[in-house]
């Protein structure tokens, strides 16, 4: 979760101060919409550098989100396996 927050923060700073000089709210909105692959299209980068950054951001965001969801899924599976093993141990006792 920290990695996702850091990832989105970098994007917000890039869009707010480096490439397109959007407001922080617009930058956060664009970063989340792009990161989650929704892509409404109501905001688009105007500069070539912003467009290139957006391409890299979107592609690496899909990978980052996949890794984060995998970690969360593993924690859920481990918790479920622990609960099942505890339940079966109690049933045997």
Q: Are 15 and 50 in contact (CB under 8 A)?
A: yes
**Range of 73's domain?**
2-92
Could you tell me the CATH number of the domain that includes residue 18? 1.10.287.70
> In this predicted structure, what is the pLDDT of residue 65?
86
| Tens-place pLDDT, residues 20-33 | 889 999 999 999 99
pLDDT above 80: residue 93: no
CA dihedral 28, 32, 35, 41 (to 10 degrees): -90
Across 37-61, average pLDDT? 92
> In this predicted structure, what is the pLDDT of residue 89?
82
3-state SS, residue 33: helix
Structurally, how many domains does the chain consist of? 1
Prediction pTM value: 0.74
């Amino acid at each position: 979760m920290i990695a996702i927050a850091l990832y989105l923060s970098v994007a917000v700073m890039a869009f707010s101060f480096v490439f397109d000089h959007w407001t922080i709210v617009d930058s956060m909105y664009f970063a989340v919409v792009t990161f989650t692959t929704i892509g409404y299209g109501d905001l688009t980068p105007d500069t070539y550098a912003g467009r290139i950054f957006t391409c890299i951001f979107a592609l690496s965001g899909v990978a980052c989100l996949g890794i984060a969801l995998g970690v969360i899924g593993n924690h859920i599976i481990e918790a479920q396996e622990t609960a099942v093993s505890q339940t079966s141990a109690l049933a045997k006792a």
